[in-house]
Chain A
Amino acid sequence: MQSLEQIKVRIEQAVPGACVVIVANDALPTQSSLLLDHRHAVDVARFLRDDPELCFDYASNVTGVDRPESIIKEKVRVKKMVDGAECLIEEVSERKTRAYLEAVYHLYSMKLKHGPLIIRLQTENREEKTHLPSLTPVWRSCEFQEREAFDLFGILFDGHPDLRRILMWDGFKDFPMRKDYVDPDDYEYEPTPHDEVLERAKQHYKPEVQS
């Protein structure tokens, strides 16, 4: 398989205007991924599938990821002049990450037996701009998995032939796999080792616990 940089160059040649960013993966560098832009995602996907050298004919895994806003604290060593002498001082910088939802596609080639190539698509935010282009017209295997990402994360795939809830019932309003989902309060008090459950159960039965 060609390297990620080569694939990026080839995509940019084949699909004019496509913006491809390599997302590094520190844990496993061989599984770094390509971030695609919305407008050209379907064209890029079609190129990846049809190009005879790449031939990613098989989209194995499609999933959503929730990235809520979080504050990352970083310690930075800064050179500063203190009392006329230069010394290193640790400064803690805080930065907020962008909140977005992400769809991740793991592509393999059944014909050439290589892979994975990982492509990602990111929404603008988590609230109202959660649209992404659907890749179901390119790979049929995305059909149920994109429906699942819609059901559990609330990602709206434009161009999906049948975007309905797949696991939860139709009238369900929440997106349960999001990090800020609060599930219905239906625990009872039980002597359980799960601290979190225990705390919730205590909340649930406050009057009885106190009496």
Chain B
Amino acid sequence: MEITPSENNSVMDEALRSELSKQGVFTTSLQELYNWGRKNSLWPLQFGLACCAIEMIAASMARFDISRFGAEVFRPSPRQADLMIVAGTVTKKMAPQVVRLYNQMPEPKYVIAMGACAISGGPFKQGYNVLKGIDRFLPVDVHIPGCPPRPEALLDALMALQKKIEQQSLTGVTRPRHLTEDARSEFPIPEFGEHDLVPSKNPELWFPPTPMKKP
């Protein structure tokens, strides 16, 4: 994950701010307030695909308690969700539906690829019906390795995402995708072909890794 500090993050003198807060006066910027609100109320889409979904449920239960981070409101409808946790193997039969769900989510929206399968196909990479990573069709913000990742790992990914949101600036060249005017919030949905998905990847999003050269 790439976190770029933006130039207008520190518009106020830190010393002054700290001095004021000691006297009970809290100052903030609109951007900070906006990001603070967004990052502490991420509503995930209630969307389990496979094994990782059980750990996602476990993370929302009493022991791990994802609500400490303001992300316990699992929404059944994509129209009400900010965060898609792709929890499990995405098969080729399921991939169009995953993209469609993402397209139906309102901006700003984020994607966590949870587990080896969502990242790359994982143990099922050789399978004929397994999509080799959801990042072929969707932009992924945080990847969590593991098979399945522990609930702590999901919480860590959530915190990483919160850091990312915190550092997003509202203006300037580093502003997030959804704030640009020609923002594209929808991605083409692949179709079922005779042998494979058509297209098998989104060429605008996914670039195959450069092959490693043997030393």
Contact = CB atoms under 8 A, between A and B. Distances in A.
Contacts of A167: 93, 129
A168 B126 CA distance: 16
Interface string B125-145: 110110010000000000000
Interface in A166-180: 167-174, 176
A183 B128 contact: yes
A188 B129 contact: no
Contacts of A171: 192-194
A197 B126 contact: yes
Contacts of A172: 192, 194-195
Contacts of A205: 208, 211
B129 A173 contact: no
B46 to A, nearest CB: 25
A176 B128 contact: yes
A186 B212 contact: no
Contacts of A188: 132, 208-209
Interface residues of A, number: 23
B127 to A, nearest CB: 8
User: Dominant SS at the A interface?
Assistant: loop
B200 interface: yes
A208 B192 contact: no
Interface residues of B, number: 18
A148 to B, nearest CB: 13
A209 B125 CA distance: 21
A186 B194 contact: no
A174 B195 CA distance: 7
A165 to B, nearest CB: 10
Nearest to A197: B126
A169 B212 contact: no
A184 B211 contact: no
Contacts of B211: 189, 205, 208-209
Interface in B158-215: 192-196, 200-201, 208-212
B132 A208 contact: no
A56 to B, nearest CB: 34
B195 A184 contact: yes
The 7 lowest CB-CB distance pairs between A and B, nearest first, are: A184-B196, A183-B128, A189-B211, A173-B194, A169-B192, A188-B208, A208-B211
Interface of B: 93, 125-126, 128-129, 132, 192-196, 200-201, 208-212
16 contacts: A167-B129, A168-B93, A169-B93, A170-B192, A171-B193, A171-B194, A172-B194, A172-B195, A173-B194, A174-B195, A189-B211, A189-B212, A190-B209, A194-B126, A197-B125, A208-B211
